[in-house]
Amino acid sequence: MKFSSEIDQNPARYQTVLYVVSQTRMTAQIILLFRSLLLLIHFGLLCTSATEFSIDSGGWVSDGESLILDAGPCNIEVRNGSMTQGEFLSNYAYFEPVVIRGASDNSEFQEMCRKDRMLDKFGEKVITLSSANTYSYTKVDVTLEQYVSNYLKPQKLDQFGNETLYWFGDNNYAEWNELFRKYHAPKYYLPRLTAAYSFGVAGAGTGVPFHFHGPGFAEVVFGRKRWFMYPPHRRPRFNPNVTTLQWLLEDYPKLSGPELPYECTINPGEVIYFPDHWWHGTLNLDASVFISTFLG
Ligand SMILES: O=C(O)CCC(=O)C(=O)O
């Protein structure tokens, strides 16, 4: 055979060929091993992230109650908690909204906001509900237990904002101190302004139509909240008694180009900053627990 005669004639070359073949085999085996290892790590990570990102509603979503609402696009800058106070002041504080991921660790606060814990601890406390229209002029006092059993429902499509009662704000600090002292507000601040909290819980599809006030931060503890914003000089077209959900379904699809809002959906662990006098409207994509830090 040609091959064996070549071996006979050139044993050193044969040794080299054998060496190269065995090296190649070893390399292939190492690559295979490495790929299996990568697959295992990847699979492991996927499992971890699936666990990490599985949605924890805190018990606020009951079976069959979820509305399927779209998170929509996000055209607001997203930063993480490593952003410095200097960067916050020079880029956003007086200029534009920003979403901050991992601004503070509120896991303990989140635990206290689970539905069973809240009902257990605060079920008998009286809370003030506001109508979910732009001016929130109707106020109704009920206990938290009554709110959860009788009002906390997904938004009905044919129900207007002035007919919807929403729990957000009007919190008596002394009564809610046990909860509020566990909350770590975002570390960013505006010079000379102090912070005040507004806390709430609301059903899927509810929200507050466009309005404006001073600057602040808002965070969701459970659920997701879609935010729509316009700068002070661009007043959006809206009816103050029409819910954000009705506006989203009826009016939003007709917007184009410069009429489109700034918008983003925030998840637990994320905070959105709204500058002074920026118009904003909110939509809870799920039953949500949330807290705003108003700067004034
Ligand atoms: O969280 C909400 O639904 C309302 C928040 C809001 O409008 C605000 O913080 O000013």
For residue 13, the model assigns a pLDDT of: 42
Distance 274 CA to ligand 1 centre (A): 10
User: Do the Cβ atoms of 207 and 246 come closer than 8 Å?
Assistant: no
Calculate mean pLDDT across residues 115-144.
Answer: 92
For residue 117, the model assigns a pLDDT of: 97
To test ligand 1's pocket by mutation, which of 136, 198, 201 has the most ligand atoms within 8 angstroms of CB? 198
Q: Is the pLDDT confidence value at 57 over 80?
A: yes
User: Do the Cβ atoms of 194 and 228 come closer than 8 Å?
Assistant: no
Fold of the CATH domain 77-295 = Jelly Rolls (2.60.120)
Q: How confident is the model at residue 132 (pLDDT cuts 50, 70, 90)?
A: confident
For residue 19, the model assigns a pLDDT of: 41
Q: 208 CB under 6 A from ligand 1?
A: yes
Mean pLDDT of the residues in the chain: 84
Q: 168 CB under 6 A from ligand 1?
A: yes
Tally of helices (H runs) and strands (E runs) in the chain: 8, 12
**Residue range 227-241, pLDDT digits in tens:** 999 999 999 999 999
- DSSP label at 251? T
For residue 54, the model assigns a pLDDT of: 59
Q: 222 CB under 6 A from ligand 1?
A: no
Distance 147 CA to ligand 1 centre (A): 18
User: Does residue 269 or residue 29 have the better pLDDT?
Assistant: 269
pTM of structure:
0.81
Q: Is the pLDDT confidence value at 45 over 90?
A: no
**Residue range 168-212, pLDDT digits in tens:** 987 887 789 999 999 999 999 999 999 999 999 999 999 999 999
Q: 136 CB under 6 A from ligand 1?
A: no
Residue 76, token pair as written in the block: 């607001």
Q: Is the pLDDT confidence value at 123 over 90?
A: yes
**Nearest ligand 1 atom, CA 290:** 1
Q: 285 CB under 6 A from ligand 1?
A: no
To test ligand 1's pocket by mutation, which of 197, 208, 213, 264 has the most ligand atoms within 8 angstroms of CB? 208
Q: How confident is the model at residue 20 (pLDDT cuts 50, 70, 90)?
A: very low
Q: How confident is the model at residue 67 (pLDDT cuts 50, 70, 90)?
A: low
Residue nearest to atom 7 of ligand 1 (CA): 208
For residue 29, the model assigns a pLDDT of: 53
Q: Is the pLDDT confidence value at 160 over 50?
A: yes
Residue 13 phi/psi, 5° resolution? Answer: -65, -40
